[in-house]
Structure 1
Amino acid sequence: MPDLYDRAQEREQQNTQDAQAHYRASLSPEPEQVIVAGCVLCIDCDEPVQAARLAAKPNAARCIYCQGEYEKEQRRHG
């Protein structure tokens, strides 16, 4: 049975891997935005990219949901 120290090490390793994957994803160039009638549309689902997302990342090309799915897929295929 793993003790508290072993579980803490496992969690730290997972957090490090997640942070590294997030960092690598942030380095990849952002795809070009699709803008229709002044509205940025998600390149994956064609829905408008949320204003809060654009405020945080003005060059975002995906809505927050699709970006999350994209990042999950990137982590799976590393």
Structure 2
Amino acid sequence: MTDLFDRASDVEQAFRDNALARQLDQVTEQPLTDKQGARCCVECSEEIPLPRLAAVPHAVRCIGCQAIKEAR
């Protein structure tokens, strides 16, 4: 039974470490802006849609590029 609890603890710690790494990754990335001041995706350089910025004000990627990044 102890092994089960140890394994659960290890999985929980890995989840926390992963979450912290993702959060720190977001904080260090700087958004791109075009000449008009619109925020652009750091991956594909396309303008990030305003509804996405309204939902996630610190977004530095469009939805498509963010989905690819999270799938890695």
TM interval, short-chain normalised: 0.5 to 0.7
Q: Percent sequence identity over matched residues?
A: 37
TM-score by length of 1: 0.55
1:21 deviates by 0.2
The runs of 5 or more residues in structure 2 that have no matched partner are none
Relative contact order (alpha carbons < 8 A, sep ≥ 6): 1 or 2 greater? Answer: 1
Aligned pairs, number: 70
- CA, structure 1 residues 51+19, in 2 after alignment: closer, same or farther (shift >3 Å)? same
2-structure distance, mates of 1:41, 1:29 = 12
- 3-state SS of 1:12 partner: helix
What value does the CA root-mean-square deviation take over the aligned residues? 3.3
Is it true that 1:22 corresponds to 2:16 in the alignment? Answer: no
The runs of 5 or more residues in structure 1 that have no matched partner are 74-78
1:28 deviates by 0.9
2-structure distance, mates of 1:22, 1:44 = 17
2:55 corresponds to which residue? 56
2-structure distance, mates of 1:19, 1:50 = 25
1-structure distance, mates of 2:59, 2:34 = 10
Runs of 4+, deviation exceeding 3 Å: 38-41
TM-score by length of 2: 0.57
